[in-house]
Amino acid sequence: MPQNTAIGRNRFCLLFLRPQIALQAALYALLGSLLSHPSGPQWTLTTLLALLALMAIVSFGFVINDAVDLELDRINKPGRWLPAGHLSRTGALVLATLLVAVVFALALLLPVMLQLFALGNLLLTAAYSLWLKRTVLWGNATIAYLNSSVLLYGALLAEGPTFAVGCVALSSLLYSLSQEVLYTVEDYAGDAHMGIVTTAVYFGPPQTLTLVQGLLLAALFSTLMPLVFQIATHCYLLLLVVCVWLPLLVWIMPHLRHVEAAGIAQACRAVKWVRVSSLVPFLSLALC
């Protein structure tokens, strides 16, 4: 029985690190490398260490955020690991400390530019959870930057940032910003109850949803930049329509017309899936 308990605890700790999202970040970094140069990164120890450092930063962000937001999550998301009692706040802080140590250890083995990038993003991730999250738009913009900067980080593993990398990073920035602002609408009731002034609390849910729709449309139009500047093929356009434009316009946008809890929750789930599916057209931009 004790052995089974230990296995279960280790499993929860692993899932608590959000390995699937850390892996997604690594895939976006590799996309940045491919956009920088068709051959992608050089598969060396440096590349492996850089990707591991990136994944550790992403996991740290979720762990420290859950530890800081425990009381708020008891209202907004009681099913999460800490409110549900699967892990204590102390345990989460220990994990966060270990992840910081891992990032610093790995960063010391990286070239200077990657080292500065990794440590800078680590500090910004901590600043988000501790201070910036409870601000109007600044916290949302911070996460949007962190998400899009992964592409630039990956480009440094190849030939460095290029125009194609910049185009995709801009689309990622706008999409991530809309996604983060949308999350404040989902958490509106709990945030308002706790007296936390987020974007949705400040502007009100209806106005915030209008902002989300505007940002999503800006993100959509930004995906056309590779076509406008003739660095993309018809294959990119076809995949873009199927994997990004249609899901956003048909699946997500209708849920953003009214402030309805079920619809907002559905939209929040959908934007996560579209973020993953967008890898397909962007990958074709790198390979075709």
pLDDT band at 109, cuts 50/70/90?
A: very high
Residue 288 predicted with pLDDT over 90? no
- Contact of 82 with 66, CB cutoff 8 Å: yes
Place of tokens 């550790």: 56
- Contact of 200 with 137, CB cutoff 8 Å: no
Tokens of 281: 């057209």
pLDDT at 1: 41
- pLDDT, tens digit (0-9, with 9 covering 90-100), for 37-92: 988 888 899 999 999 999 999 999 999 999 998 888 888 788 887 888 788 899 99
Q: Which residues contact 54 (CB under 8 A, 6 or more apart)?
A: 22, 25, 26, 29, 118, 150, 153
- Contact of 240 with 288, CB cutoff 8 Å: no
Residue 13 predicted with pLDDT over 50? yes
Q: Which of 92, 83, 98 is nearest to 64 (CA)?
A: 92
Residue 35 predicted with pLDDT over 70? yes
Residue 11 predicted with pLDDT over 80? no
- pLDDT, tens digit (0-9, with 9 covering 90-100), for 222-255: 999 999 999 999 999 999 999 999 999 999 999 9
Q: Decide: residue 4, CB within 10 A, 0-12 exposed, 13-18 middle, 19+ buried.
A: exposed
pLDDT at 7: 53
- Rounded to the nearest 10 degrees, the angle between the axes of helix 261-277 and helix 279-287 is 20
Query: What amino acid is encoded at 259 in this protein?
Result: V
Please state, rounded to an integer, the average pLDDT across all residues of the chain.
Answer: 93
Mean pLDDT to the nearest integer, 208-233: 97
% pLDDT > 70, the chain: 96
Q: Which fold has domain 1-157?
A: Tetracycline Repressor; domain 2 (1.10.357)
Instruction: Report the predicted TM-score, pTM, of the whole model to 2 decimal places.
Output: 0.92
Place of tokens 């699946």: 251
Q: Which of 223, 126, 209 is nearest to 169 (CA)?
A: 223
- Contact of 157 with 33, CB cutoff 8 Å: yes
Which helix (H) or strand (E) segment holds residue 121: the answer is: helix 112-130
Q: Which residues contact 44 (CB under 8 A, 6 or more apart)?
A: none
pLDDT band at 9, cuts 50/70/90?
A: low
Mean pLDDT to the nearest integer, 258-264: 91
Q: What is the DSSP letter of 134?
A: G
% pLDDT > 90, the chain: 80
Is the Cα dihedral 146, 244, 212, 215 positive or negative? positive
Tokens of 105: 């250890």
